[in-house]
Amino acid sequence: MNIHEYQAKAMFRESGVRVQQGEHCTTVEQALSAYDSLGSEIVAVKSQIHAGGRGKGNLYCPNSGDLILEGGVKVAFSREEVEEYASKILGHKLVTKQTGPSGKMVSNLYVESGCDIAHEFYLALLIDRETESLLMMGSTEGGVDIEEVAEKTPEAIHKEWFQPSMGLDEEKAGSMADSLGLKGPSRDSFVEMAGRLASMFVDKDCSMIEINPLVLSGDGTMVALDAKVSFDDNASFRHPWWHEIRDISEESEVEVRAHEQGLSYVDLDGNIGCLVNGAGLAMATMDVIKMYGGEPANFLDIGGGADSESITAAFGIILEDPSIEGILVNIFGGIIRCDMVARSIIEASKETGLEVPLVVRFSGTNHEEGRIVLDESDLDVVTVSTLGAAGEAIVGAIGGLLE
Ligand code: ADP
Ligand code: MG
């Protein structure tokens, strides 16, 4: 789960990580009163969406598509500028490198005291699966596209690993500070902040904290000027308060709906819809599609307790995607019976008016019966018994089989 910058900064503040004073607003009037109460002549007016690259993004009118404002993070030098920026941001679509061309509607703003920036750093905390530990990454190349830095000058990214149970000790935080060239009080400020961030990461079950830029301010202290925080959904039972800060309007509408129906669905760029039971099998299915030269349109795990209702729902969700050119159903019958799945597929196909090629692979409980049910139906379906044959058949059916 992702949260907004203003929410992440409230958590930083609570954890003792220094941030500028700021106020969350949803109207131009609120933005103006935030400006008045902050008492800072220079403020940053910041679009709040769950995507990065806001500063370099542009705002467009959702109806006409006209360009309204260049830059989704603006530094305002007067009350008039706050009014201008707030009204050009709120209710408009922000398109950034991370939102895709359709952009995201902005309904939240953060008005924050302007910061005197001496240098912009990059700092992130994340889970490193390979070493089964937490990883702190830092770079002097902050404020810019970190992916580009990682690609062109990987040596400019410094890394420190630590165990969540041990926290980040001063030695490791200090060695990161040294790698970033920080000295004296700035080094001390960094070490203290890094330790607090590491504790917050563990206590709040974060999956990522990214601060870009982390700035060395004019007075020599470290200030988090941006804040991106994601939580590990598997720990949601420990944090009932997450639902209060969750902004569903920022999440994919179809993914939220699928989740409500007990399906785990992720939209992807390809044209072959996948309907699978089990996350591991879904991964394998996607791999096989790619192996035969096709591209999966989604990841869809209907789970172990799937019934005809959830299968119909899954078909409906897959077919909502206009880029679908074929569907591959791959079911391993354990508790679920393949003949039940077969009947549900026939029903769902009728209900959804299925018009694209369909390939079904059954394995496990009642797989033979399932195949017979499908083969004897009037449904236009290809049934296969192995995963390889399934991949080959669906990619072939949409006319994309590689030589
Ligand atoms: P994004 O990463 O989505 O573009 P940031 O929060 O990093 O958004 O803001 C973009 C840039 O705007 C920062 O790199 C920084 O230079 C500037 N900026 C952000 N907040 C402030 C602030 N409070 N005072 C001065 N400059 C700011
Ligand atoms: Mg940033």
Ligand 1 atom nearest residue 227's Cα? 6
For residue 143, what pLDDT is reported?
Answer: 84
Other CB atoms within a 10 A radius of the CB of residue 171 amount to 10
Atom 10 (ligand 1) nearest CA: 55
**pLDDT tens digits, one per residue of 298-317:** 999 998 777 888 888 899 99
Share of the chain above pLDDT 90, in %: 81
> Which ligand places an atom closest to the C-alpha of 8?
1
Share of the chain above pLDDT 70, in %: 99
Task: Name residue 76's amino acid.
Answer: A
| CA–CA separation, 262 and 352 (whole Å) | 19
Helix or strand or coil: residue 221? coil
Atom 4 (ligand 1) nearest CA: 55
**pLDDT tens digits, one per residue of 167-211:** 999 999 999 999 999 999 999 999 999 999 999 999 999 999 999
| CA–CA separation, 311 and 351 (whole Å) | 11
Q: What is the pTM of this model?
A: 0.82
Ligand 1 atom nearest residue 20's Cα? 23
Helices 184-203 and 170-179 meet at what angle, rounded to 10? 130
Q: Is the pLDDT of residue 403 over 80?
A: no
Average pLDDT, the chain: 94
Mutate to test the pocket of ligand 1, among 21, 54, 121, 225 (most ligand atoms within 8 A of CB): 225
Q: Write out the two tokens for 91.
A: 């209710």
Atom 6 (ligand 1) nearest CA: 226
Q: Decide if 20-113 and 252-397 have a common fold.
A: no
Which chain residues have CB less than 5 Å from ligand 2, an ion?
212, 226
Instruction: Say if residues 149 and 139 touch (Cβ distance below 8 Å).
Output: yes
Residues ≥6 apart with Cβ < 8 Å to 318: 273, 274, 275, 297, 298, 300, 324, 327
Set 5, 120, 141, 210: catalytic member: 210
For residue 2, what pLDDT is reported?
Answer: 95
Question: Is 122 annotated as catalytic?
Answer: yes
Name the pLDDT band for 401 (thresholds 50, 70, 90): low
Instruction: Say if residues 312 and 348 touch (Cβ distance below 8 Å).
Output: yes
| CA–CA separation, 355 and 381 (whole Å) | 11
Alpha carbon of 96 to ligand 2 centroid (Å): 12
Alpha carbon of 213 to ligand 1 centroid (Å): 7
Query: Which stretch of 213-222, 261-270, 354-363 has the lowest confidence by average pLDDT?
Result: 261-270
Q: Where are the alpha helices (DSSP H) in 90-158?
A: 146-152
Helix or strand or coil: residue 229? strand
Which residues lie across from 332 on neighbouring strands? 363
For residue 103, what pLDDT is reported?
Answer: 93
* CATH code of the domain made up of 252-397: 3.40.50.261
Please state whether beta strands 73-76 and 22-25 pair in parallel, antiparallel, or not at all (unpaired).
unpaired
Per CATH, the architecture of 117-236 is what?
2-Layer Sandwich (3.30)
Half-sphere exposure of 332 (CA within 13 A, CB side): 14
**pLDDT tens digits, one per residue of 145-159:** 888 888 898 899 999
Tell me the domain boundaries of the chain.
Answer: 20-113, 117-236, 252-397
Closest CA to 124 of 240, 50, 209, 204: 209
User: Is 20-113 assigned to CATH 3.30.43.10?
Assistant: no
Atom 2 (ligand 1) nearest CA: 53
Q: Is the pLDDT of residue 402 over 70?
A: no
**pLDDT tens digits, one per residue of 273-293:** 999 999 999 999 999 999 999
**pLDDT tens digits, one per residue of 344-392:** 999 999 888 889 999 999 999 999 999 999 999 999 999 999 999 999 9
Alpha carbon of 385 to ligand 1 centroid (Å): 55
73-76: strand order across its sheet: 22-25, 108-113, 43-48, 73-76
Residues ≥6 apart with Cβ < 8 Å to 272: 289, 294, 295, 296, 297, 324, 325, 326, 327, 328, 394, 395, 398
Average pLDDT value for residue range 39-45 = 96
> Which ligand places an atom closest to the C-alpha of 116?
1
Ligand 1 atom nearest residue 142's Cα? 14
DSSP string, 1-59: -B--HHHHHHHHHHTT-----EEEESSHHHHHHHHHHH--SSEEEEEE-SSS--TT-EE
